[in-house]
Amino acid sequence: LQHFLTIEGLQRKHLIEILDTAETLSGVAERRVKKVPTLHGKTVVNLFFENSTRTRTTFELAAKRLSADVLNVNIATSSTNKGETLLDTIRNIEAMQVDMFVVRHAVSGAAEFIARHVAPHIAVLNAGDGRHAHPTQAMLDMMTIRRHKGEFANLRVAIVGDVLHSRVARSNIHALNVLGTGEVRIVGPKTLLPADAEGLGVHVYHDLAHGLRDVDVVIMLRLQRERMSGALLPSAAEYFQQYGLTEERLALAAPDAIVLHPGPINRGVEMDSAVVDGPRAVILEQVTNGIAVRMAVMSIVLGNRAHPQEDFA
Ligand code: CP
């Protein structure tokens, strides 16, 4: 892999390589083993044009545990506020002889745009672009599911909530299908599901009780209010009444079903606190697995690539 921008177009062998590599690195992610030297001498730049807690910090930790140097560019105080274009920002940081950009941006396609313009020795990782893709989130979700459930072919998975605005849902649907999941469902009101849903290789449910019946895995989504226009905005109370995950509703799923959420969670909107903090939730495991998956992706993409100046060292 030259970059890691989306799950679309990747084959099963690529996803399995990431999952298997993440497992071999999980001892480092979980602090059973100290750092490894894989990216010693490399410089990773975090460029987050949108807010983040989990993704930015776990990318930083992943890079540090691979022994890379990490630069976190504070976009809020950067010269983008003085009118500098995205491409000029990239070119100037590129001139600092860096090796990798980790990019989050509100515009779909932003990471791909940057990847098309950087020098060939630089890798670009997509940390979430608009509604389009969040591929490392999908891979940490797949790692979490595989650890608990094993083979994807035997599983029914329901993705519940605001699928329309969710880059996580899109990347998860692609990853689950590439990995051969038995059945992938999306569940939500018509206004929050994509019009082309059937073409994505999923079964569509508008009724939560039907959508949850007998599933092995429930992936809950946040209402992405920041990406909605007024007409789409349900009230929090209305939404929770119809689509909020409670313990009673979760009882409709398989008895050993697990519950995932990419975070941030709005408690009492998409999930009741009793479920968030309950025994079926694997939400904090997802966060830990995010370090291992991001270490895996960084080492696969950059592990064997030399900076041009290194040839003369
Ligand atoms: N899951 C996720 O992308 O969380 P952050 O927005 O906190 O990075």
Q: Which ranges in the chain belong to alpha helices (H)?
A: 12-29, 54-65, 86-94, 110-117, 135-149, 167-178, 208-212, 236-243, 247-250, 273-276, 283-302
What is the residue extent of each domain of the chain? 12-132+288-312, 135-287
**pTM of the predicted protein model:** 0.95
Nearest Cα to 122, choosing from 114, 132, 130, 113? 114
In this structure, CATH architecture of domain 12-132+288-312 = 3-Layer(aba) Sandwich (3.40)
CA nearest to 25, candidates 304, 312, 303: 303
Q: The complex's ipTM? A: 0.98
Whether 135-287 and 12-132+288-312 are alike in CATH topology: the answer is: yes
Give nearest CA residue, ligand 1 atom 6: 52
Q: What pLDDT shows up at residue 300?
A: 97
Tell me, using a 6 A CB cutoff, whether residue 286 lines ligand 1: no
Residue 144 in contact with ligand 1 by CB distance below 6 A: no
Q: Dihedral sign for Cα 233, 236, 240, 245, please.
A: positive
The CATH homologous superfamily to which domain 135-287 belongs is Aspartate/ornithine carbamoyltransferase (3.40.50.1370)
Report CA-CA distances (Å) from 244 to 83, 186, 209, 236, 268. 42, 14, 11, 9, 7
Atom 1, ligand 1: residue with shortest CA distance: 262
**pLDDT (tens digit, 9 = 90+) per residue, 28-85?**
999 999 999 999 999 999 999 999 999 999 999 999 999 999 999 989 889 998 999 9
What's the pLDDT tens digit per position in 92-118?
Answer: 999 999 999 999 999 999 999 999 999
Which residue type is seen at 185?
R
